[in-house]
Every structure is written in structure tokens, then in C-alpha cells.
A = this chain, B = another copy of it.
Amino acid sequence: MSISNNVQRRMVEGSWIRKMFEEGTLLKQRYGEENVYDLSLGNPVMEPPPEFVQELKQLATNPSPGMHRYMGNAGYPETRAAVAEQLCLETGVKLTVNDIVMTCGAAGAANVVLKTILNPGEEIILLAPYFMEYDNYIDNHEGIPKVLPTDEQFMPKLDTLEAAITAKTKGIIINSPNNPTGAVYDEDLIHHLVDLLIKKEEQYGTQIFLISDEAYRKIIYDGLKCPPILHHRHSIIVTSHSKDLALPGERIGYIAVHPECSQQAELMSGLIFCNRALGYVNAPALMQQAVRNLQHVTVSVAEYQRKRDFLYNHLIEMGYSVVKPRGAFYMFPKSPQEDDVAFVRELQQCNVLVVPGRGFGAPGYFRVSYCVHDRTLEGSIDGFKKTAQKFNLC
């Protein structure tokens, strides 16, 4: 066997997703790309905002000496300061350059954080439905994921959470706005969550990190604002510019640590060390320079909201059961039949591609990604309708 047993096992576990992806590719080959409505990927079709295009052009046409060299493993101080400044504005917490590590995307950020804090066998709490790569990230660093269900609105159940926290709990990952549900946690909920963590920290004499994956923080609708999680001094933001600046391929993100975190300097040293030791070394240099002045810039959220409204209204009208998403660019309807994989295959037969809920630790649902061209969304409606009729949803 050329590959490790663990990698082998994890690949087999995920192989059904790959199989579905391959089936989708076959469909596209058979019927033509334009006749298959692929709502399965979180790869936004929106282009980066014009400010980014301008910034990149400026950097490339006026190259400055040393702009592609190594910098410190934490990233350029100027970029870290710019990130901190914007976070100050958004959260009211006084972050500085010393609280920020630039990373290779939010995935890099999450791995660096988990590597830094986890001893083997320590637990990280996840709230299903969730982005299942977290399982891999926790496993990379010998942690144990402890998955808890959420309520009907995809909100954390505080009593369940309270019962699940033990002396082994090193942290909890939250992701609001959420992939795959589009749920957004409100300020009250965050406050209650933080109170619970602090209570449990006192009970066990431990630190329990609130790790907040905020990749979709800026993609939020109906005039809502994403409440800051920095009430908890043991909170860490992991995020990227993949969605707000539409740069997922460029792997540019960051970690922000609460300035009042206990042993903050030691934690920062650990994060910077792990950014190097995990082989990321530093976030890509050119992108660090490109996003420096764009911390206040976001793609058109109104565009996404329009797409959400279009799809949500249609699905509701057809009789699907959907919690209205308040952010991100996904919705997570109930599967009309218990077996979500079987249902996804029904949609496949109408050339509509989505992902079964079990791909997010939540069987009985399916994820629809609407960060696609309008023509793709519009084209999918017929398939959703036919399938709804087949299941007598109306």
C-alpha cells in the first residue's frame, strides 16, 4: 500500500461524494455543460470587486523590489495592521498587528489554530450541519471531533452543548453565516454561548476556545450584521477573502486572536510557529499586498440576496421545506424522502446537481449552492419543480 491507512480510510469514506461528482461530470458530457444545472459547489462565479482588479494591476505594473520575497511567517506587518484596524471598526475590540496572522485561506487558518492548541485526544465540538473538512482538520492534529445536532432553525442547542463539554474540550468551531445552511447566529445567542463557555472554563479550570469561521461574515442579508464573537477572551477568528473578495483560488486569509486571551503572546508565537512548521510558511505575498487596502471592500451582497430570494421563493412555492438563509450563499432544504442521497439522484435525473445533507453531517437534507450564474439558477427551477411534483410536495 503506497498511501497511509488513515488517508486510505478517509478517502473511502468520502468516495461517495467523488462518485456523485463524477456522475455530474458524465451528465455534463452527455447533455452539454449548459444543460446541466450545477448547484453543488461553493465556488462563486462572481468576479472580484473592481477595487481588487485595480490594486492587482497597480502592483503588477509597478513592481517594487523584494515584493515576492519571504516576509515574517506572520505576514507583512502593514497587512496585519490593516486587518486589525478593520476588525476594530467592526467589533469594537482593540486588535492590533500583534493579534493577526496572515494565512493560506481560512482552511490554512483553521489548521494552524488546531495544530497550535490540540494535544492528542482533546476534543473540538462541531455543530451539525457543518463543513465536513473540519473533520479532516481536527484529525490532522490528533484531535477528536464531537458533533452535536442543532435545532430546527440550525441554531446551537445550549443544553446539549452544556452536557457535551468536558475537561477534554479544547474548543468549539462555529460558522456563522453558515455553510451549508445560511443560518446566522444573533447577538443574544453569541452572548449565551460565551457565558456557557466561561462557566465551563471555570468549572474545569481549562481554556475553551471559541473558534469562529467567518469566511461568510460579509455575505449577509436583509440589513443584518454579523455580531462579533469577541466577547469571549478565548475567541479566535479564522477567515479568508475567498468569499468577500471572491478570491477562493488565491488562498489568502487570516487568524485574529482576542487581544486579552490568556497567554496571548505565547499563543501568537505558537500560531506563527505552526504556520511555518505546517509548511504554509506564509500567506502568498502578492495577495497580502493586494488585500491590504481592501479590508472595507466586499463583492455585491445585493446580487447574492437577489439570487437567494429567487431560489427561496421558488422552492417554497413548490412545497419544499426550507429555513430561509440569512447569509452565505447556500440553502439547506429538507429532503422530501428520508434518504437524501436517493433524493439527490432524483434531482440528478432532471440535470440538477446538489449535495446530500450527509455530506455535512446532516442526513435528510440537501445543500443548494446559489453562487452561480442566473441562467444556471433559472435553468434548475424546472428540475426542482418536476421532482417536487413527483413527491407530491404541493
Contact = CB atoms under 8 A, between A and B. Distances in A.
Contact of A140 (B56, B66, B278): B278
Nearest 9 CB-CB pairs, A to B? A249-B285, A60-B60, A107-B279, A3-B270, A111-B279, A136-B277, A43-B70, A284-B284, A2-B267
B60 A249 contact: no
A159 to B, nearest CB: 28
B11 A273 contact: yes
Interface stretch (A29-37, A112-120, A221-229, A327-335): A112-120
A133 B276 contact: yes
Contact of A111 (B105, B248, B261, B278): B278
Interface of A: 1-8, 10-11, 14, 41, 43-45, 47-48, 53, 56-57, 59-61, 63, 65-71, 104-105, 107-108, 110-111, 115-119, 133, 136-137, 140-142, 207, 246-251, 261-263, 266-267, 269-270, 273-274, 276-287
Contact of A69 (B60, B117, B249, B262): B249
A47 B63 CA distance: 10
Nearest to A264: B2
A2 B262 contact: yes
A371 to B, nearest CB: 10
B277 A140 contact: yes
Among A65, A266, A269, A279, the most chain B Cβ lie within 10 Å of the Cβ of A279
Given A4-B118, A133-B279, 7 more contacts: A3-B263, A10-B277, A108-B279, A115-B140, A250-B284, A251-B281, A251-B284
Contacts of A14: 273
Contacts of A248: 68-70, 281
Residue among A1, A69, A263 with max Cβ neighbours from chain B (10 Å): A69
Contact of A2 (B8, B63, B65, B266): B266
Contacts of A4: 115-119, 141, 270
A261 B2 contact: yes
Contacts of A250: 68, 284-286
A248 B282 CA distance: 9
Contacts of A116: 3-4, 7
Nearest to A18: B269
A277 B140 CA distance: 8
B281 A284 contact: no
Contacts of A57: 60-61
A136 B116 CA distance: 13
Contacts of A110: 279
A239 to B, nearest CB: 13
Contact of A61 (B61, B108, B267, B279): B61
B71 A249 contact: yes
Contacts of A136: 276-277
Contacts of A249: 67-71, 282, 284-286
Contacts of A142: 142
28 contacts: A2-B261, A3-B117, A3-B269, A3-B270, A7-B277, A45-B69, A47-B66, A47-B68, A56-B60, A69-B246, A70-B248, A104-B104, A104-B251, A104-B279, A105-B281, A111-B279, A136-B276, A137-B279, A140-B277, A250-B284, A250-B286, A251-B280, A251-B282, A251-B283, A280-B280, A284-B284, A284-B287, A286-B287
B60 A44 contact: no
Contacts of A44: 69
A47 B61 contact: no
A274 B3 CA distance: 11
A141 B274 CA distance: 13
A107 B281 CA distance: 8
Contacts of A11: 269-270, 273
